[in-house]
Chains A and B, each alone.
Chain A
Amino acid sequence: MKKIKRENLKQLFDLISSGQRLYIPIKKAGQTNYGIYAADSRVDLDTLKTVKSSKEAFFPQSETLYTVTKENRKIKITQQELEGEDFVLFGVRGCDIKGAQVLDRVFLSSPVDSFYEARRNHGIIVALACSEPEESCFCTTFGVDPTEPEGDVTTWFKGEYLYWKANTEKGERLTALCSELLTDADEAAVEEEKESIKAILSRLPYADLSLESWHGDATNEKFGSELWKELYKPCLACGTCTFVCPTCQCYDLKDYDTGSGVQRYRCWDSCMYSDFTMMAHGNNRTSQMQRFRQRFMHKLVYFPANNDGMYSCVGCGRCVDKCPASTNIVKVIKAFSKEVNSK
């Protein structure tokens, strides 16, 4: 176990970023999102949840796959290079790390997504325990331990210090790189911090949220429920929930006319959008009720059905915080529990 004084963190970030890219929560124009650290960045590790999750470090909102240019009478296709350099992703919360594990199921199973794989292999994750969980948090429902999130390095804020524990070989290497700034520490302070977090977790409003009845075999029972016809009604059909979500993984492939060629890129897509799953024959989901149902069925039924019971929600609560119509996955889960209990 190591530690570093809070006031020396800037030196730590400068040191890490001198040899590699450092992605870290940065406050810009009033909001905190992951960004590439520069000496003048306003690092913000106090905000519990970045607006967008850390998934963007592995799966950017838009990324070029290849470009097509015309040279004389020939067409030249240039493939985008894969990530080739290590980078550090700093301050990742337990929910977002679990989110990456969900995405691994999608992108690292055959056929492997080489763009994602390269970033994942080169990413070094410095996890940060959640000293002050918030009302919309329900990660423990999905088996996340915010007191000791799994990363290559796990860190905790406690008093004047950031405590630091390497968990993997990548983490050991990063620790060695930062050795001049890190001093030895004993585990007692961290144990105390973990206990204090646990006490808060037990008092969270969603602490008792139950996933009973949500599992891979629930398709028939849930799909036809009358509840969807009511639940979707406030939904504005925007993509906020899907774009702030650490596990939403759907994307679209598009061509951008650069004026002198074509840039083929992929970008996040949202099952809330009207042309999602548009095919040559048309669209198999034509109403917002169907789109709304799809999002929650995917997270709580279809995904576990295809991934050994793993849900594709991690309980970060971003959709709870951000939905402009105040409808969200927790309200959906609760509505179904209420229905079961009233029967």
Chain B
Amino acid sequence: MQELISRLKELLESGSVQRVLGWKKGDFTFNPEPAYFNSAEELSEFVYDGFCGANLSKYMIKASNLEGVTAVLLKPCDTYSFNQLIKEHRVIREKAYIIGIGCKGKLSLDAIKAQGVKGITDIKGAEIDGDCNELKVETLYGEKTVSYKDSMLERCHVCKGKEHMIYDELMLESADTLDADRFTDVEIIENLTSEDKFTYFQRELSKCIRCNACRNVCPACSCRKCVFDSTKFDSEQKANVDPFHESMFHIIRAFHVAGRCTDCGECSRVCPQGIPLHLFNRKFIKDINEYYGVFQAGEDIGQTSPLTDYTLDDMEAEERR
């Protein structure tokens, strides 16, 4: 961590970057927030640990409009989003100095609480320099120890790997966290009867409060004006009036990001109601893989996209013949 901070200081002091986009310590050890650092002094508040789950690629849309270069810290999975945003002309490559940082899995406070931990006041063991095996949790009701792995975000269990798809330099070690198959949950749902599928999604989506956190955090949702915000059409919705509305927002969103979603998992991380929104996107990814060949959005900038590029081998072309 110290070497990272020293490097960031160096970059700021030499003037090769105008600011750093990273994370600032919170008022607890477990609630850091995305932040800009404009000077070496400001870096005294910098932190990077297991609680820095936020994907900063999305913030780079705004940062691309700022003067000068922004040094942005991207975890391996964040770099897929950054590539996708370059492809969609939503970020400017030259405006970013990408420091690809290592990742040992990111933590979910909800996952820690789900292990019966209440009143958390401090968590140790999430430091990036540590071995990330165990978390010592101090609570108002005594000390608890939980395993790091059991406390990770869902997305880290199905990690795409610790390689950065785009970077200017790499720093800090990573650790493998993959221990589950990405499509298992999708397959379970695929095998349900239509009625059971409907019941499952209705139960989940009926919790939705239409806060738009999933959309606003999503790097693939980068429209300047979202159709759901436009006052010019009937499509503007602020609340779910009926079960149709509940489903419509999420299904339209899933269709809109299909083929562009990198499966970064931010939608599920931020949902205040714990809706497993990533399942919609993964169903699309699984179908794309099956129909058009294995495809990972954001893997590189030059790749052709399954849903926007036409080739004679496409299944639609096959059907037409």
Please list the residues of chain A having a beta carbon within 8 angstroms of any beta carbon in chain B. 28-31, 33, 48, 51-52, 61-62, 132-135, 200, 203-205, 233-234, 236-240, 242-244, 252, 254, 256-257, 263, 265, 267-270, 273-275, 278, 320-322, 324-327, 330-331, 334
Contact = CB atoms under 8 A, between A and B. Distances in A.
Among B33, B36, B270, find the residue whose CB has the most chain A CB atoms closer than 10 A: B33
Interface of B: 26-28, 31-36, 54, 109, 118-121, 139-141, 203-204, 206-207, 209-213, 215-217, 229, 231, 234, 236, 238-241, 269-270, 272-275
A239 B211 contact: yes
Contacts of A243: 209-211, 272
A205 B121 contact: yes
Contacts of B32: 326
Given A132-B119, A135-B119, A267-B239, A29 B212 contact: no
Given A51-B273, A52-B209, A273-B229, A233 B36 contact: yes
Contacts of A133: 119, 140
B26 A132 contact: no
Given A29-B204, A205-B28, A233-B36, A268 B140 contact: no
Contacts of B229: 273-275
A269 B33 contact: no
A284 to B, nearest CB: 15
B203 A267 contact: no
A239 B210 contact: yes
Contacts of A28: 203, 206-207
A236 B213 contact: yes
B34 A234 contact: yes
24 contacts: A28-B206, A29-B207, A30-B274, A33-B207, A61-B240, A62-B240, A132-B119, A132-B140, A134-B120, A135-B120, A135-B139, A233-B36, A236-B217, A239-B212, A239-B213, A240-B209, A240-B211, A240-B272, A254-B236, A265-B239, A267-B238, A267-B241, A268-B238, A326-B32
Contact of B119 (A31, A51, A134, A322): A134
A324 B269 contact: yes
A301 to B, nearest CB: 22
Contacts of B206: 28-29
Question: Which applies to chain B's interface (DSSP): helix, strand, loop or mixed?
Answer: loop
A269 B238 contact: yes
Contacts of A330: 27
A234 B25 CA distance: 13
Contact of A268 (B27, B231, B239): B239
Given A29-B207, A257-B234, A322-B272, A234 B35 contact: yes
A210 to B, nearest CB: 14
B272 A135 contact: no
A38 to B, nearest CB: 14
Nearest to B240: A62
B216 A237 contact: yes
Contact of A31 (B26, B234, B241, B273): B273
A62 B241 contact: yes
A62 B33 contact: no
Contacts of A240: 209, 211, 213, 270, 272
B27 to A, nearest CB: 6
Given A31-B207, A132-B141, A256 B213 contact: no
A69 to B, nearest CB: 17
Given A132-B141, A200-B140, A326 B31 contact: yes
Contacts of A33: 207, 273
Given A61-B209, A134-B119, A278 B231 contact: yes
A331 B28 CA distance: 10
A239 B210 CA distance: 8
B140 A29 contact: no
Nearest to A320: B31
B282 to A, nearest CB: 18
Given A238-B216, A240-B213, A273 B238 contact: yes
B203 to A, nearest CB: 5
Contact of A134 (B33, B140, B212, B240): B140
A238 B212 contact: yes
A29 B273 CA distance: 9
Contact of B241 (A244, A263, A327): A263
Contacts of A263: 241
Contact of B231 (A29, A62, A269, A275): A275
A135 B113 CA distance: 12
B26 A326 contact: yes
Contact of B203 (A29, A237, A321): A29
A203 B140 contact: yes
A242 B27 CA distance: 21
Contacts of A234: 33-35
A246 B213 CA distance: 19
A37 B54 CA distance: 37
B269 A62 contact: no
B120 to A, nearest CB: 5
Contact of A275 (B121, B207, B236): B236
Contact of A238 (B28, B35, B109, B213): B213
A321 B109 CA distance: 9
A165 B159 CA distance: 53
A173 to B, nearest CB: 33
A204 B213 CA distance: 29
